[in-house]
Amino acid sequence: MNELKIKGIYKHFKGDHYLVEDIAMSSDDGVTPYVIYRKLYEDGSLYIREKSDFLGEVDHNKYPNVTQKYKFELINVESLRKK
């Protein structure tokens, strides 16, 4: 299964980037985890999605040309500052 990193930057299979802010539990059952994430473009809106869906695989029957395995994949963003 795909990993989840708080404050990690993820690439959505359609190309945009998102910052995982935190995890929250459902107020309905107190058990179902939701990922709270922010888009890193336009207005920076905040979203929630069930963790299992966030970390789930792309439906390659619906999107046959997508090469990314998971809907959201953690990317490595390196500093531009010289060490």
Which two tokens mark 71? 């809907």
pLDDT for res 83:
66
CA-CA distances (angstroms) from residue 5 to 19, 33, 66, 77? 10, 14, 23, 13
Residue 43 has pLDDT above 80, yes or no: yes
- For residue 67, is it within any domain? yes
CATH number of the domain bearing residue 24: 2.30.30.320
Nearest to 18 by CA among 4, 35, 37: 37
CB 71 within 8 A of CB 53: yes
CA separation for the pair 25, 72 (Å, rounded): 20
Identify the pLDDT of residue 55: 97
Range of the domain at 46: 9-75
The values of phi and psi at residue 46, to 5°, are: -105, 140
pTM summary value: 0.89
